[in-house]
Chains A and B, each alone.
Chain A
Amino acid sequence: MEIKKISAHYGEKLALDQISLAVRKGEIVGLIGPNGAGKSTLIKVLSGVLRASGGEASIEGQEITTLSPAARARRIAVVPQARQLGGAFSVRQAVLLGRTAYLGFLGKPGERDLEILDWALKATAVDSLADRKLAEISGGEQQRVLLARALAQDAQVLLLDEPTNHLDLKYQVSLLRLLRELVKKEKLTVLMAMHDLNQISGVVDRVALLVGGKLMAIGVPEEVLHPENIRAAYQTEVELFHHPGSGKHYLFPKT
């Protein structure tokens, strides 16, 4: 996926200022930055919810900003935060709605749709919950259902908007582990907005740091998650630690 000089406005306010970045197949790029930096806005623009005021984006050479909602949904799937779910649906019904872009107006699934539905339920380990109502399962399980729904879209690109928000530590770890396995196995292209600077480094291949709608830095986590970058972006002093076992970097606010 290639993003070239994408800009977006909320009314008069500039929310994204000429963002350019590329994500390769099988790669996870993390989006970080303070609140209001434009992480969610970038996801909205790429998924067609918000119109870009400039620039372009393409997937495997195909320009996407001009596609119809269905054609776009076959190339880009979004995993939103598990809030405001239609609680009256069963897990199976919810995941099947991931096939919307392939179904006709009446939404009648064909054999291939049901095959992909089964695969998506199994791949995210929610197949045992298939007949439960969304309102009856935990937040962590709901988040996996939303991942299953996105997988059912059979799209090359996955966009995730802070998928671990509101989840217990156990579910955070298992969701991110599952995501990484799937991405490597299915060669997906992933852009994921994240809040937790330490959690991100074990999951993503590269990190993009957004500040005030601008791309401030992009690169491997060790480069970007540097105390100087973090100070400039978040106006917070942090210290860098190396984990003695794994050699990974961790950031902690100075007290």
Chain B
Amino acid sequence: MTRKPFLTVSLLLGTALILSVALGAVTIPPGNAFKILINQLPGLEFRGVWPAYFETILWDLRLPHTILVALTGAALAGSGAAFQGLFRNPLADPYLIGVASGAGLGAIIIMSIPQAGRYLVPLGAFLGALLTIIAVYQLAKVGQMVPLTTLILAGVAIGSFTSAVTSFLMLISDQMVLQAMSFLLGGSTVTGWEPLVIATPYFAVGLALLILSGHSLNVLQFGEEQARQLGLPVEKVKLFIIISASLTTAAAVSFSGVIGFIGLVVPHIIRILWGGDYKQMIPLSIFGGAITLLISDILARIVMAPSYLPVGIVTAMIGAPFFLWILRRAKKEVFW
């Protein structure tokens, strides 16, 4: 299992996808779910007996939701890994350093402007994320370094501030807008294929840019001074990584709300299992994030079925203790 990382994560992702379309308030046996999905492909026909509404639930509700959840988890873990590499800090996570809240505020501002269309929401989230990360970075920087404590403190401060502004904007909004905003609390209630079509280009571009930055992140692990001496154009590369990670975080927040801890926990597990080479770690974290958020989302659906628990609650309940464990471990961590 640990020898072939990409095979392992592919198998796990396949399993999680099937379970995610099968389980929920109405359970579709995974075998039938698999057959119904295969039947959508041209030229293939599996015979089987199932009620017709299985196909409706699966195709119109569960599948778009599942894909969105997988993309969101991938984006959060991918950008988390990139932020950790950029700051050379194992606790960097789009949620903890305030970038996700900043993206949320950007999205809310666009939503509260009646003239702005739904298509502009990801752009607002992107700008919100970018401004937040620049502010946090400037606040947290001590000389050339970004120490763990100042990074988290600056992230918490900026994150609380942007969350407060977000809450304020939600309070003064009218009912219609409020409903549109409620997903930002960290539970994806966006359903159907339309949001997915809008979202996919953002996810695809952001994730591709993150995968491309693996080598630069590796060089940066020796510190900015050595990276420059090795011939890396450090300022350009940092900007590239910040933009890629902010874009990816913004895509996740615009369509699924502010979900914490995936970006922290997943890259950490990947690093423990398969080492700290970012060329490999970024794509593996992307897979791992999709798997982890899918499992969290399945739990969110079945724990209190038929009602749906916001998935952000599940990730926080699992993630917060994990965060404390890393904090203790970080003191004697050999890899940092």
Contacts and interface: CB of A to CB of B under 8 A. Distances in A.
Do A and B make up one complex?
A: yes
A97 B219 contact: yes
B251 to A, nearest CB: 22
B176 to A, nearest CB: 46
Q: Which of B223, B229, B271, B277: most chain A CB closer than 10 A?
A: B229
A93 B334 contact: no
Interface string B210-245: 001011101101110110111111100000000000
A106 B228 contact: no
A48 B335 CA distance: 28
Interface string B184-218: 00000000000000000000000000001011101
Interface size class of A (residues with CB under 8 A): 35 or more
A121 to B, nearest CB: 17
A89 interface: yes
B231 A73 contact: yes
Nearest to B335: A88
A106 B219 contact: no
B276 interface: yes
Contact of B225 (A49, A76, A87, A98): A49
B234 to A, nearest CB: 7
A97 B218 contact: yes
Contacts of A93: 218, 277
A69 B219 contact: no
Contact of B231 (A74, A80, A89, A94): A74
Given A97-B218, A100-B219, A86 B230 contact: no
Interface string B257-281: 0000000000000010001110100
A85 interface: yes
A220 B219 CA distance: 38
Contacts of A108: 215
Contacts of B229: 47-49, 73, 76-78, 80
B336 interface: yes
Given A49-B225, A69-B233, A89 B212 contact: no
Contacts of A103: 215
A177 to B, nearest CB: 25
Contacts of B279: 107
A114 interface: no
Contact of B276 (A80, A84, A88, A107): A88
A99 to B, nearest CB: 9
Contact of B335 (A69, A84, A87, A98): A87
Nearest to A149: B230
B210 to A, nearest CB: 13
A48 B223 CA distance: 14
Contact of B226 (A70, A72, A80, A106): A80
Contacts of A88: 221, 271, 275-277, 335
B228 A89 contact: no
Interface string A79-121: 0100011111100011001101101011110000000000000
Contacts of A44: 225
A84 B231 contact: no
A86 B222 contact: yes
A84 to B, nearest CB: 6
B231 A70 contact: yes
A84 B225 CA distance: 11
Contacts of B225: 44, 49, 80
Contacts of B226: 78, 80
Contacts of B271: 88
A106 B221 CA distance: 16
A69 B224 CA distance: 12
A22 B207 CA distance: 49
A108 to B, nearest CB: 8
Nearest to A46: B229
A106 B212 contact: yes
Contacts of A149: 230
Given A87-B335, A88-B276, A103-B215, A97 B228 contact: no
A153 interface: yes
Contacts of B218: 86, 89, 93, 97, 107
Given A105-B215, A106-B215, A100 B230 contact: yes
Contacts of A153: 230-231
B336 to A, nearest CB: 7
Nearest to B333: A87
Smallest CB-CB A-B distances: 4 pairs: A107-B215, A88-B276, A101-B231, A73-B231
Interface of B: 212, 214-216, 218-219, 221-223, 225-226, 228-234, 271, 275-277, 279, 334-336
Given A89-B276, A89-B277, 9 more contacts: A49-B229, A69-B231, A69-B234, A78-B226, A86-B222, A87-B336, A88-B221, A93-B277, A106-B212
